[in-house]
Structure 1
Amino acid sequence: MKKLLVAASVLALTACSTPSEPQLSISPEPVIASQPLVQGKSMNLDSRDLRTAQFIAVVDSGRENVQPLHSNENLRTTLEDALSRQLTAQGYTIAKDSQGTLRLDILEAMVNVKHSVVSHDLSSKLQLQLVVETPKGKFVKRYSGKSARNGAMSASVQDMEQAMNNLITAVLKDIYADPELNAYIQENL
């Protein structure tokens, strides 16, 4: 019985010391306006992650060897924080007691990597939906982006991080520069 207990303890300690799966660090760069575009507009900011799978990357090394990779941070809170900083720089005030609400829905965020012996193909997809609800009505719009690249050898975690961060930053720029969204918020808040 003692031998079994010692063996189980050694096995448990060995399992704790094995390296964990790599994780991606997602840190997009929101657009920071040099001059506020609006004054006195206040909104509540909310977000939802509607993806069916919570991992952010899938690495396919062939022979049915597929490895999902997660983000170090919660993607929903990371994107909500980036959008909040962007809106604040535009002059909006984010407050829980506002009459208007801007909701960010994450519909898709994925980096797919296919490895072969000497190269890799990396493709990224992102789809976000913004829902603006005010006492005067509702505005819904989707923003999406795709990117693809290939390279020699296998893709690193940094390659995957860069692909997703660049894609999120590009979509945040689209949100910032969207005249339809900005006009709706300014007219209806």
Structure 2
Amino acid sequence: MKSPILLLAALLLGGCATHWPETALLNPQVIPANQQYYSGNRITMEGIDKRAAAHVFAIKQKEKAPVYIKSEQPLNTLLVERLSEGLRSQGLEVGNSGTTNLTLQVNNALVNVEEKTFTYVTKSKVSLQVMADFQGSRLTKVFNASASKEGPGEPSIADLELVLNQQLGSLIQQIMADEQLRGYLKGQPSA
């Protein structure tokens, strides 16, 4: 009597295994500025991805091959779009020509999920670097975010996307609010 019940339980639990998608939908939100910081200032912007691997999520479960999930859209392209939107809301013109060149570099953007004995540990780390060049004067700044969470249930893809979207959005807001960077974008690097 016990073996049919155990078999049924094993089949039911096996049927509950998460099916992970091949790509993640990342959509970090940027809050438009309610203040104009730039007037007639134009910049060029590019995005570079310097990550060691292309995936944004790594799921490691016991006795299973690791699952690696990439962003649906190239991360550097997505972040340049979002940062451009945010800077435009502050009055900055972003285009093919400008007095300042701004480079947004993705150094790290990864959420690791690891199954432990009775829990799942989720650790995320994001590192973005900006480099602003104005007539030979250069500013380089790094913006970091990290988080860690341990819980009894396996996180869903929506949970993981939310964590990474929040961190990316927060870092873009920090970049937009950086006073030293604003000086370079205005063409006043000493300001």
- TM-score, normalisation: structure 2: 0.83
Q: Which 5+ residue runs of structure 2 have no aligned equivalent?
A: 1-18
Q: How does 1:53-64 map to 2 (within 5 A)?
A: 53-63=53-63
Structure 2 SS opposite 1:65 = coil
2-structure distance, mates of 1:139, 1:83: 17
Aligned to 1:42: 42
Q: How does 1:108-123 map to 2 (within 5 A)?
A: 108-116=108-116, 118-123=118-123
Aligned to 1:84: 84
Deviation at 1:20, TM superposition (A): 7.9
2-structure distance, mates of 1:95, 1:23: 29
Structure 1 SS opposite 2:181 = helix
Deviation at 1:174, TM superposition (A): 1.4
Provide, for residues 69-117 of structure 1, a one-character-per-residue CA deviation record: whole Å limited to 9, x for no partner: 1111211111110000011011100121213210001100000001246
CA RMSD of aligned residues (A): 1.9
> Identity percentage over the alignment?
22
Aligned to 1:141: 141
Q: Which 5+ residue runs of structure 1 have no aligned equivalent?
A: 1-18
Contact kept, 8 Å, 1:30 with 1:173, in 2: the verdict is yes
Deviation at 1:153, TM superposition (A): 1.4
Aligned to 2:130: 130
Structure 1 SS opposite 2:38 = coil
Aligned to 2:52: 52
2-structure distance, mates of 1:157, 1:51: 21
Provide, for residues 129-178 of structure 1, a one-character-per-residue CA deviation record: whole Å limited to 9, x for no partner: 10101115111111111011222211110111001001111111211221
Aligned to 2:185: 185
Structure 2 SS opposite 1:175 = helix
Contact kept, 8 Å, 1:22 with 1:157, in 2: the verdict is no
Aligned to 2:163: 163
Deviation at 1:40, TM superposition (A): 0.7
Deviating more after overlay: 77-86 vs 170-179: 170-179
The one-letter code matched in structure 2 to 1:85 is E
- TM-score, normalisation: structure 1: 0.83
Q: Which runs of 4+ in 1 moved over 3 A?
A: 19-22
Contact kept, 8 Å, 1:56 with 1:110, in 2: the verdict is yes
The one-letter code matched in structure 2 to 1:40 is G
The one-letter code matched in structure 2 to 1:142 is V
1-structure distance, mates of 2:110, 2:20: 21
Deviation at 1:30, TM superposition (A): 1.4
Structure 1 SS opposite 2:106 = strand
